[in-house]
């Protein structure tokens, strides 16, 4: 689409060590850690200064390390109104689907270079490449396409976790609790098998590197007007 302005929004931390999303590249290098199976790390943007349209495919480039030989990354892109309410959607598999999501198992990070595009990483899936603990790796993560026009004052958030996205608060409609029925934002298909995700491999500490040459970001299709 000729009117797409591909725009990077960078992961960072501010002076108070709060996790942020910045429209400007970050010069100072740093890192943040989280427990892959017990914690969720969320980066928040400042309120939008003007209306913003996001339409098309997206991709995240994260520079990461794990304390173990592999890791799963679950990314969830969210939008919030000025009063803090999440903008969600009636999805095919979940009544409260977030703006977008992306997933990657780090040992399957190898790209098919001929088929990949900056906004569409194409995984080769022809070999498994275990991680060297504590070593930094560059991961390209496909994030599902979306279309939304966000008004001025709304904010974006990017959740990073080593487990399925799940809202902490129950959403109720009358006496019906969607969360009680298993509809937590990721649909009914969970990634909890101990055979596929043994804790000693996928329950380590994940590090995300920020700023400089290892600045992690998500690439957004901004529609120019």
Q: List the domain boundaries for the chain.
A: 4-169+180-189+198-223
Write phi, then psi, for 200 (nearest 5 degrees).
-70, -20
Q: Residue 114: left (phi > 0), alpha (psi -120 to 50), or beta?
A: alpha
195 against 16, higher pLDDT: 195
pLDDT for 25-35, tens place per residue? Answer: 988 899 999 99
Domain 4-169+180-189+198-223 superfamily per CATH: Galactose-binding domain-like (2.60.120.260)
**Dist. CA 83–CA 79, nearest whole Å:** 12
pLDDT > 80? residue 143: yes
pLDDT at position 88: 87
Mean pLDDT of the chain: 89
Q: Would you state the structure tokens that stand for residue 79, as one six-digit string?
A: 């939008």
Q: What is the pLDDT of residue 40?
A: 94
pLDDT tens track for 53-65: 999 999 999 999 9
Residue 51, Cα to own-chain centre: how many angstroms? 22
Q: Is 4 exposed, middle or buried (0-12, 13-18, 19+ CB in 10 A)?
A: middle
Q: What percent of the chain has pLDDT over 90?
A: 74
């Amino acid at each position: 689409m000729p009117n797409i302005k591909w725009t990077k929004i960078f992961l960072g931390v501010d002076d108070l060590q709060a996790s942020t999303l910045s429209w400007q590249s970050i010069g100072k290098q740093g890192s943040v850690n989280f427990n892959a199976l017990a914690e969720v790390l969320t980066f928040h943007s400042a309120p939008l200064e003007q209306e913003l349209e996001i339409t098309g495919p997206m991709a995240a480039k994260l520079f990461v390390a794990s304390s173990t030989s592999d890791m799963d990354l679950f990314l969830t892109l969210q939008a919030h109104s000025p009063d803090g309410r999440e903008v969600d959607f009636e999805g095919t598999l979940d009544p409260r689907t977030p703006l977008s999501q992306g997933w990657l198992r780090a040992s399957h990070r190898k790209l098919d270079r001929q088929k990949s595009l900056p906004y569409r990483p194409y995984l080769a899936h022809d070999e498994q490449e275990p991680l060297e603990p504590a070593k930094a790796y560059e991961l390209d993560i496909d994030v599902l396409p979306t279309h939304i026009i966000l008004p001025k004052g709304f904010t974006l958030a990017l959740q990073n976790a080593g487990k399925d996205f799940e809202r902490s608060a129950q959403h109720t409609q009358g006496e019906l609790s969607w969360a009680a029925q298993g509809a937590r934002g990721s649909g009914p298909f969970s990634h909890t098998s101990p055979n596929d995700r043994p804790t000693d491999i996928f329950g380590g500490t994940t590090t995300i590197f920020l700023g400089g040459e290892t600045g992690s970001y998500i690439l957004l299709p901004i529609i120019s007007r």
